[in-house]
Structure 1
Amino acid sequence: MTARKPAQDCASLAEIRAGIDSLDAELIALLAERIGYVRHVAPFKIKEGVPAAAPDRVAHVLAAVRARGEAAGLDPDMLEAMWRPMIDWAIAHEEEVMGKG
């Protein structure tokens, strides 16, 4: 994690942009870690006879994202709009690995 000033302590556009760039790098690292988990899901689903698409799980993930976002003062609709493509990609990836894509 990179040390950065809180946004409210930044005194210039350059400092704000540096903070955003730093956070973007951390978000990419976290997304890469998340995708690492996603890439290892399919074998467990095959073993347990679970389909790639799991509507109840999708609903649970989206509800959790919305609730956590709202608790953090973020727009839950925006967060859901960000998560849906990740979920769709994960399902497509799992279907491909499972021989259904």
Structure 2
Amino acid sequence: MKVEECHSLAEVRNHIDQLDDQIVELIAARNGYVKQAANFKHSIEEIKANERMESVMDRVRSKAMEFGVSPNLLTTLYAIMIDAMVEAEISEFQNAKSL
């Protein structure tokens, strides 16, 4: 992704706001797919999928380094996001089973 050169603080903030909107939209889309994944799983242990989480974290760490972003920052953010999304997926799973 190309970062444009800005000529004022307002311009910088405008770009950041636009990126934040995109990030939120992408996280919402990711969450939607995570909830759908509950339909294909058979147990809460399968939802927790430690191997999958490790794989995601490894990929995120690698991408962070590729883009010159702190791997610790991104893995911390992803850990928080994944924990919350796993809880949402468990809720979806339990709701589907109770129908």
1:19 and 2:15 correspond: yes
Counterparts in 2 of 1:30-69, with a 5 A limit? 30-46=26-42, 51-69=46-64
Match of 1:89 in 2: 84
Q: Any unmatched runs of 5+ in structure 2?
A: none
Moved more, 60-69 or 29-38: 29-38
Moved over 4 A (4+): none
Q: Match for 2:51: what amino acid?
A: D
- Identity of paired residues, percent? 33
Measured on the aligned residues, the alpha-carbon RMSD in Å equals 2.0
TM-score of the superposition, structure 1-length normalised?
Answer: 0.83
Q: Structure 1 10/53 Cα, relative in aligned 2: closer, same or farther at 3 Å?
A: same
Provide the rounded CA distance (Å) in 2 between the counterparts of 1:34 and 1:98. Answer: 17
Match of 1:75 in 2: 70
Post-superposition offset of 1:83? 0.2
Q: Any unmatched runs of 5+ in structure 1?
A: none
Instruction: Give the number of equivalent residue pairs.
Output: 93
Provide the rounded CA distance (Å) in 2 between the counterparts of 1:65 and 1:71. Answer: 10
Q: Is the 8 A contact 2:44 2:90 kept in 1?
A: no
Q: Structure 1 49/31 Cα, relative in aligned 2: closer, same or farther at 3 Å?
A: closer
Post-superposition offset of 1:65? 0.2
